């Protein structure tokens, strides 16, 4: 990457932190990306829902929210990596797997970054005046899914195992899929104990803080939503194991 683009990326990422409440005009088709290994690639649709053009840059990182395009090293290519989006137009991002080795027995998690830079003001009144120009970055989870994984990702949340430890709920995921839980409720002792949830990695555990739980909660039902491949919540029910 040239020094110009390196400086541009750093400056734009810094600008992103200035307006966390701003709304992006470049919309991404979906809230997550699934890349099946058997396909080797996936396409993400972008739409510029504005009356002005925008400069867009895209890259993939391994989880560092402060990453820049020149600092990442992942087994994926994005085409085009940088482009101008005309107003009210669509653009496809093509993500290709470069076939570098990744675990074959479970999903791997990466992050897709889409950075939007608006044009400079064209209004003559803005010439010579002070103004703030904001760049906005969106980050989406990208799941690389190897071929031949056992089980159904849409049914995987039903296989979660729950244990109580102290005032926490330990969630064990025996499946090869990442599972994102929201709106977790444990019905125990006549009360509904809640937790915001989180994502549990394949064949791993996640500890959720649920105030008021105790070991006596064995057998208590656990209600939660799991975010599926389409980004939609699906309701599931489990039970606290002894």
List, for residues 179-222, the tens digit of each pLDDT value: 999 999 999 989 999 998 999 999 999 999 998 888 778 899 99
Question: Which of 119-128, 165-174, 183-192 is predicted with the least confidence, judged by mean pLDDT?
Answer: 119-128
Q: What pLDDT is attached to residue 7?
A: 45
pLDDT of residue 126: 58
Q: What is the pLDDT of residue 16?
A: 44
Domains along the sequence of the chain with CATH:
3-145 (2.60.40.10), 156-239 (2.60.40.10)
The whole-number pLDDT of residue 9 equals: 47
Strands of the 161-165 sheet, one edge to the other = 161-165, 168-173, 204-209
Mean pLDDT computed over every residue of the chain: 88
Whether the per-residue pLDDT at 123 is higher than 70: the answer is: no
The pLDDT, as a whole number, for residue 125 is: 52
User: Which is higher by pLDDT, 121 or 79?
Assistant: 79
Q: What is the pLDDT of residues 7-33, one digit of tens each?
A: 444 444 444 444 344 567 899 999 999
């Amino acid at each position: 990457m040239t020094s110009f683009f390196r400086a541009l990326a750093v400056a734009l990422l810094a600008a992103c932190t200035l307006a966390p409440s701003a709304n992006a005009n470049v919309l991404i088709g979906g809230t997550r990306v699934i890349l099946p290994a058997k396909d080797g690639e996936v396409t993400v649709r972008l739409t510029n829902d504005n009356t002005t053009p925008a400069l867009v840059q895209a890259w993939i990182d391994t989880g560092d929210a402060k990453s820049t395009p020149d600092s990442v090293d992942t087994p994926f290519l994005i085409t085009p990596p940088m482009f101008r989006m005309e107003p009210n137009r669509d653009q496809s991002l093509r993500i290709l797997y470069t076939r570098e080795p990744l675990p074959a027995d479970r999903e791997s998690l990466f992050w897709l970054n889409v950075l939007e830079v608006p044009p400079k003001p064209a209004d003559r009144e803005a010439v010579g005046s002070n103004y703030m120009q904001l760049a906005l970055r969106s980050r989406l989870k990208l799941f690389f899914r190897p071929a031949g994984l056992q089980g159904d990702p849409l049914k995987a949340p039903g296989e979660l195992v729950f244990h109580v430890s102290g005032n926490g709920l330990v969630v064990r995921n025996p499946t090869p899929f990442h599972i994102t839980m929201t709106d977790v409720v444990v019905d125990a002792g006549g009360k509904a104990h809640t937790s915001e949830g989180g994502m549990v990695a394949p064949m791993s555990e996640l500890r959720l803080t649920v105030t008021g739980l105790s070991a006596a909660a064995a057998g208590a039902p656990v209600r939660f939503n799991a975010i599926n491949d389409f980004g939609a919540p699906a309701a599931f029910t489990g039970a606290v194991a002894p």
